[in-house]
Structure 1
């Protein structure tokens, strides 16, 4: 039986989502708790990878089990086993071929910049107090929607087959003492959002013109783009699927 489990986590003390040989990750912590609950090895597949220190307010995983899972009481039991900075929010039965990663239609991220020191936002935002031209940053963000090749914002050493992404939305908004970058796309490259934010901040500081920003995209060269901003402010906020993926017949197909 295959299930999707909706989870969220504070990524501060983890080396990203995906299991690594010599580092503690969210997936490792989650697999341990789920294996204890099921009394069998649980191998999960996530909707995507988040890097060290990155958070998720919504992430989906899928898992195959030999025993049926129910929202109650298994959700309560699973959360009792999970660390305090990881929560399971829902358990959803899905078709046997449903895939948390490959069936995702779009993913959304937010990058949160704290405009003044706030102890309650420590590890959950990037403190940056220099003035930024948000209007110029939004003009540059709009340019992203006209392109599909984002090689310039990808980590140099990565195992993807191509660097093409379709960005559906990219904009900055003020929310109190936070400046938040919203971006939604069909897929993201490793390090892509943090590199985009770092480059847009160069525009906001008037160190890079709109024409220069477009030249960065055309260069397909990571060294032409801006710095990668710290992970603290990055959140995976939404993963969207076709609703039919959650429809399962009596045979689980």
Structure 2
């Protein structure tokens, strides 16, 4: 039976989601817990990579198990107890055999959090800025993103991806009325490595008045990473949601 596991993590202590040599990863940590319980090597495959230090309020991974749903739920409960405090497994749901955590996803949503105020209980989880940003100008620039598909200008250089084509569905800034934080939300069918942080860093240049929305558009059109702004720090970026077609999910009863 194939299942989707829903989980969250604070990425501060990890080199990212994906297993890699000589560095701790979220994927490896979860696989180790599952393998310990099942007493055999157990692999999971996530909806995508997150950079070192990036967090996830909702990551999805698929796993194949010779277990019924109740047994699978018990496995997740036991594995969650073995995991460190910065990783949490929330639920497991059955899906059709061809469902794939990465390739079946139709949308991924990230958010970036910025605060002007000192936040003693979240200082390592949001970006503190010491100057104002022009939200209207940044939103004017962000609204251009759905009109483009090639995001080479915001991609990490020398990666192994076959295409830099992405389809952005929405991108906007808003101020949270409760916390006062400035929050950037972006949803797309897929993202390139470092893409969201590069977009945010370039939009900061627009918000500071160093770049116009028209300049932002020209940066994208140039397909040249050197023309974009520096990447925003990783610690304020969160994978918020991964969306899938409803027909992938099997009944829970």
TM-score under structure 1 length normalisation: 0.95
Residue segments in structure 1 that go unaligned for 5+ positions in a row: none
Structure 1 partner of 2:24: 24
Structure 2 partner of 1:39: 39
1:187 shift after superposition = 0.5
Residues matched between the structures, number:
250
Pair 1:177-2:180 in alignment: yes
SS of equivalent to 2:37: helix
Structure 1 partner of 2:92: 91
Equivalents in 2 of 1:97, 1:144: separation in Å? 32
- CA RMSD for the aligned pairs? 1.6
1:146 shift after superposition = 1.0
Kindly report which structure 2 residues correspond to 1:173-212, keeping only aligned pairs within 5 A, or say none: 173-175=174-176, 176-212=179-215
Structure 2 partner of 1:224: 227
SS of equivalent to 1:92: strand
Q: Deviations over 1:145-192 (max 9, x none)?
A: 111111000001111111111111100011133110000001100000
Kindly report which structure 2 residues correspond to 1:43-122, keeping only aligned pairs within 5 A, or say none: 43-70=43-70, 72-122=73-123
1:72 shift after superposition = 4.2
Equivalents in 2 of 1:212, 1:6: separation in Å? 39
Equivalents in 2 of 1:30, 1:154: separation in Å? 28
SS of equivalent to 1:119: coil
Equivalents in 2 of 1:37, 1:243: separation in Å? 31
Q: Is the 8 A contact 2:73 2:91 kept in 1?
A: no
4+ aligned runs moved over 4 Å, structure 1: none
Q: Deviations over 1:63-115 (max 9, x none)?
A: 11233353643332121111111011111112222110000010000001121
Q: Is the 8 A contact 1:38 1:67 kept in 2?
A: no
